[in-house]
């Protein structure tokens, strides 16, 4: 009887298998469907499946205790659909106690297995792992004697890549970093993914950035062939890598790079008087945008997110013939769906997703302490405990009018903390 039932499932017509696959929005479920048998693999892999919007990965409150040698420690995340329904995303890898600090298109997740170290890339589609840097070799300024200093342990706070991080393809990485071991740590680092399939790459950093010692880097994006870093002063530093090759010992790299610092004026209406929660760089239709996130002032939601302002990078000539860079405020989202997160923000047009339940708006997750190196260094089960906030997630929709109203749909407001990670986007 059991063999007969299996045969019925095995012999499903290819068109029916294709239709079933189209109705599975989760790419991990589609991958599991491929693995049932050879006939299903042939039937499911053929169709051109619809393009996927990001999913929110929501961590559990606590990780499981240290496992026995024969038992893996697995962590559950949840896909969140726009109407607030959840879908369990089963991760078969041993990701227990890992901090997620970024993602990349194609199913890549960036994680720190040791919270402040053990940085890796995990691809949920292919069960593929690549190494990321755990140390940086600092290039000192001329005033500090110049040259390359000894390796320093780092924690990656946010990162992105110049291209998809596949094996055997040219790809550079850039990150905003901190160190749990030193107060004299560079704020940014670069590396090549050439050896990432066999060992952690050697990263290069700078003891001084063009932003100045008093500024703090908030976000990074790869835009028009170069890495752009955004500071808390809302200035932008652009690094164009022309060469990055590790030496034979893997203790440094030959780095060829062009760097430019651009100071931006802010143009538009008055800036909100509320405290700024974060700033993000987003590319939309080839243009560079900055999204500013504010703390809410409503007693019910404080200190949750209370509003956003969006700016576009513009240029103009001054009377002296000099180029003036500015952030010009946008008063409409113009059909955009913007998913913001440090190093992983994405913008989509609603018109490109007919029938989708997602709509125009700014989608966000709770990243309040995603750059708190002191908190990352704490333990999960020893006081004072490590606690990442996880309740400030949702969608902000702009309603036109005078004044413009921002309407929020909030997700998982009762899920206050996790002891191993903030939420994170998943980009299928």
Domain membership of residue 219 (yes or no) is yes
**Confidence grade of residue 3 (pLDDT, cut at 50, 70, 90):** low
Are residue 137 and residue 251 in the same domain, yes or no? yes
Instruction: Provide the pLDDT for residue 283.
Output: 98
User: What confidence score (pLDDT) does residue 393 get?
Assistant: 93
* pLDDT value for 146: 46
Give the range of the structural domain holding residue 204, as residue numbers without chain letter: 132-262
Q: 151 versus 10: which is more confidently predicted?
A: 151
Residue 413 falls within a domain, yes or no?
A: no
Among 95-104, 134-143, 375-384, 406-415, the range scoring the smallest mean pLDDT is: 134-143
Does residue 50 form part of some domain? no
Percent of residues, the chain, with pLDDT higher than 90: 41
Q: Is 251 found in the same domain as 140? A: yes
Q: How many domains does the chain have?
A: 2
User: Is the residue at 59 inside a domain?
Assistant: no
Q: Would 209 be classed as within a structural domain?
A: yes
Q: Final residue of a domain: which of 262, 289, 304? A: 262
In tens, the pLDDT along 358-388 reads 789 999 999 999 999 999 998 877 788 899 9
Residue 158 has pLDDT above 80, yes or no: yes
31 within some domain: yes
Is 346 part of a structural domain of the chain? no
pLDDT over 50 (residue 167): yes
pTM as predicted? 0.86
SS (H, E, C) the chain: CHHHHHHHHHCCCHHHHHHHHHCCCCHHHHHHHHCCCHHHHHHHHCCCCCCCCCEEECCCCCCCCCCCCCCCCCCCEEEECCCCCEEEECCCCCCCCCEEEEEECCCEEEEECCCCCCEEEEECCCCEEEECCCEEEEECCHHHCCCEEEEEECEEEEEEECCCCCCCCCCEEEEEEECCCCCCCCCEEEEECCCCCCCCCCEEEECCCCCCCCCCEEEEEEECCEEEEEECCCCEEEEEEEEEEECCCCCCEEEEEEEEEECEEEECCCCCCCCEEEEEEEEECCEEEEEEEEECCCCCCCCCEEEEEEEEEEEEECCCCCEEEEEEEECCCCCEEEECCCCCCEEEEHHHCCCCCCCCEEEECCCCCCCCHHHHCCECCCCCECCEECCCEEEEEEECCCCCEEEEEEECCCCCEECCCCCEEECC
Within a domain: residue 320?
A: no
**Lowest-pLDDT range, 56-65, 83-92, 155-164, 252-261?**
83-92
pLDDT of 80: 59
Q: What is the mean pLDDT of residues 196-213?
A: 80
**Domain's final residue, options 217, 242, 262:** 262
Evaluate if residue 404 carries a pLDDT over 90.
Answer: no
Average predicted confidence (pLDDT) for the chain: 82
């Amino acid at each position: 009887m059991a063999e007969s039932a299996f045969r019925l499932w095995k012999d499903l017509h290819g068109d029916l298998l294709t239709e079933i696959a189209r109705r599975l929005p989760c790419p991990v479920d589609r991958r599991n469907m491929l693995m049932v048998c050879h006939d299903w693999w042939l039937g499911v892999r053929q169709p051109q499946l619809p393009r996927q919007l990001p999913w929110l990965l929501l961590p559990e409150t606590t990780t499981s205790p240290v496992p026995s040698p024969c038992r893996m420690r697995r962590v559950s995340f949840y896909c969140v659909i726009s109407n607030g329904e959840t879908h369990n995303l089963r991760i078969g890898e041993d990701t227990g106690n890992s901090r997620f600090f970024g993602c990349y298109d194609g199913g890549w997740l960036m994680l720190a297995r040791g919270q402040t170290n053990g940085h890796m890339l995990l691809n949920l589609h292919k069960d593929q792992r690549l190494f990321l840097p755990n140390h940086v070799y600092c290039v000192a300024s001329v005033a500090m004697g110049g040259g390359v200093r000894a390796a320093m342990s780092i924690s990656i706070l946010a990162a992105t890549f110049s291209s998809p991080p596949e094996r055997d393809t040219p790809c550079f990485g850039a990150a905003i970093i901190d160190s749990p071991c030193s107060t004299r740590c560079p704020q940014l680092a670069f590396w090549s993914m050439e050896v990432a399939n066999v060992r952690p790459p050697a990263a290069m950093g700078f003891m001084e950035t063009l932003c100045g010692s008093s500024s703090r880097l908030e976000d990074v994006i790869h835009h028009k062939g170069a890495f752009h870093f955004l500071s808390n002063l809302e200035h932008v530093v652009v690094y164009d890598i022309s060469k990055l090759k590790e030496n034979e010992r893997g203790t440094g790299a030959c780095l060829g790079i062009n760097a430019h610092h651009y100071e931006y004026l802010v143009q538009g209406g008055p800036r909100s008087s509320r405290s700024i929660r974060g700033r993000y760089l987003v590319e939309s239709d080839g243009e560079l945008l900055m999204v500013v996130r504010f703390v809410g002032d409503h007693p019910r939601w404080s200190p949750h997110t209370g509003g956003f302002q969006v700016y576009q990078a513009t240029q103009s000539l001054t009377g002296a013939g000099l180029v003036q860079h500015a952030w010009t405020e946008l008063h409409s989202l113009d059909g955009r769906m913007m998913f913001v997160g440090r190093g992983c923000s994405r913008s989509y047009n609603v018109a490109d997703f007919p029938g989708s339940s997602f709509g125009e708006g700014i989608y966000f997750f709770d990243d309040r302490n995603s750059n708190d190196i002191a908190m990352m260094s704490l333990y999960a089960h020893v006081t004072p405990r490590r606690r990442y906030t996880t309740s400030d997630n949702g969608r902000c929709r702009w309603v036109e009018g005078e004044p413009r109203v921002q309407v929020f749909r909030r997700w998982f407001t009762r899920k206050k903390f996790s002891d191993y990670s903030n939420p994170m986007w998943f980009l299928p």
